Amino acid sequence: MRIATIPCFGSPRLDYSQQSTAAQTDPLNKKNVPTGGPVFFGCWLDFNQPDHRYPLHPTDDGPFALGSMKSIQELIRGNHQCLVAEIFSPQSDSIAVDTLPPAGPGTLAQRNLSIDESSNPGEFADSRTVSHTFEIGGWTAKRGELQEAETLMIDWGNLPTGTRATLFFPEVDAYASARLATSHSGSKRLQVIDAHTLRCAVGGKTFVPVVITERRRTPALLTVELPAGVIAGQIFRLLVRQISVTRGQRQVTGMFQFSIPVRKTGELLRTEERKLGVIRWMARSLVKGDSWTPVISRYLENVVARVTAFGGNPAAVPPSPYGGPRDGPHGCLPGCLPGWVVAVLRLLGFWKAV
Tally Cβ neighbours within 10 Å of residue 309: 21
Strands 118-120 and 249-264: parallel
pLDDT at position 353 = 41
pLDDT at position 191 = 95
Residue range 288-313: mean pLDDT, rounded:
94
pLDDT exceeds 50 at position 329: no
pLDDT at position 354 = 33
Can you tell me the distance from the alpha carbon of 103 to that of 43, in angstroms, rounded to the nearest whole number?
A: 21
Can you tell me the distance from the alpha carbon of 84 to that of 103, in angstroms, rounded to the nearest whole number?
A: 10
Cβ atoms of residues 325 and 277 within 8 Å: yes
Span of 30-44, 57-71, 75-89 with lowest mean pLDDT = 75-89
pLDDT at position 328 = 55
pLDDT at position 106 = 59
pLDDT at position 4 = 64
Strands 69-71 and 52-55: antiparallel
User: Torsions phi, psi of 168, nearest 5?
Assistant: -115, 120
Residue range 320-336: mean pLDDT, rounded:
64
Residue range 28-49: mean pLDDT, rounded:
81
Nearest partner of 200 among 169, 164, 170, judged by Cα:
164
Which amino acid, residue 243?
A: I
Cβ atoms of residues 281 and 76 within 8 Å: no
Can you tell me the distance from the alpha carbon of 222 to that of 213, in angstroms, rounded to the nearest whole number?
A: 21
More confident residue, 335 or 155: 155
pLDDT at position 347 = 56
pLDDT exceeds 90 at position 38: no
Can you tell me the distance from the alpha carbon of 125 to that of 224, in angstroms, rounded to the nearest whole number?
A: 11
List the beta bridge partners of residue 194.
197
pLDDT exceeds 70 at position 276: yes
Residue range 69-73: mean pLDDT, rounded:
89
Residue range 133-160: mean pLDDT, rounded:
78
pLDDT at position 335 = 45
- Angle (CA) 118-123-124 rounded to 5° is 75
Span of 176-185, 208-217, 224-233, 245-254 with lowest mean pLDDT = 245-254
Residue range 16-41: mean pLDDT, rounded:
86
Helix (H, G, I), strand (E, B) or coil at 265: helix
pLDDT at position 147 = 61
User: Torsions phi, psi of 137, nearest 5?
Assistant: -80, 120
pLDDT at position 34 = 78
Distance separating the N- and C-terminal Cα atoms of the chain: 42
CA atoms in the 13 A half-sphere facing the CB of 62 = 23
pLDDT in tens, 87-121: 766 665 566 655 555 555 556 666 666 678 888 87
pLDDT averaged over the chain?
Answer: 82
Residue range 165-181: mean pLDDT, rounded:
93
More confident residue, 167 or 345: 167
pLDDT at position 43 = 83
> How would residue 331 be classed by pLDDT, with cut points 50, 70 and 90?
very low
pLDDT at position 125 = 94
Cβ atoms of residues 169 and 291 within 8 Å: no
pLDDT exceeds 90 at position 325: no
Strands 197-200 and 190-194: antiparallel
Cβ atoms of residues 287 and 77 within 8 Å: no
pLDDT at position 66 = 87
Continuous H helices in 11-66? none
Residue range 245-260: mean pLDDT, rounded:
80
Cβ atoms of residues 217 and 150 within 8 Å: no
Percent of the chain residues topping a pLDDT of 90? 42
Highest mean pLDDT among 51-65, 316-330, 337-351: 51-65
Cβ atoms of residues 141 and 171 within 8 Å: no
Residue range 122-133: mean pLDDT, rounded:
92
pLDDT at position 261 = 95
- Where b means 16+ CB within 10 Å and e means fewer, 94-133 reads eeeeeeebbeebeebeeebebebbbbbebebebbbbbbbb
pLDDT exceeds 50 at position 352: no
